Amino acid sequence: MVKVLFVCMGNICRSPTAEGVFTQLVKQARLSEQIYIDSAGTHDYNLGKPPDSRSQVAALKRGIDLSGLRARQVTQADLTEFDYVLAMDRANLKSLQLLCPPGQEHKLHLFLNFAPDNDTQEVPDPFDGENSGFKHVLDLSQAASTGLLTEIRQRFQLRAR
Closest CA to 147 of 63, 34, 22, 56: 22
78, amino acid identity: D
Give catalytic residues, as residue numbers: 8, 14, 125
CA angle 142, 148, 151 (to 5 degrees): 145
Q: Is 86 helix (H, G, I), strand (E, B) or coil?
A: strand
Closest CA to 13 of 159, 110, 107, 137: 137
Q: What sign does the CA torsion over 56, 85, 77, 37 have?
A: positive
Distances (CA, A) of 161 to 11, 28, 100, 150: 30, 11, 33, 16
C-alpha span between 140 and 109 (Å, rounded)? 15
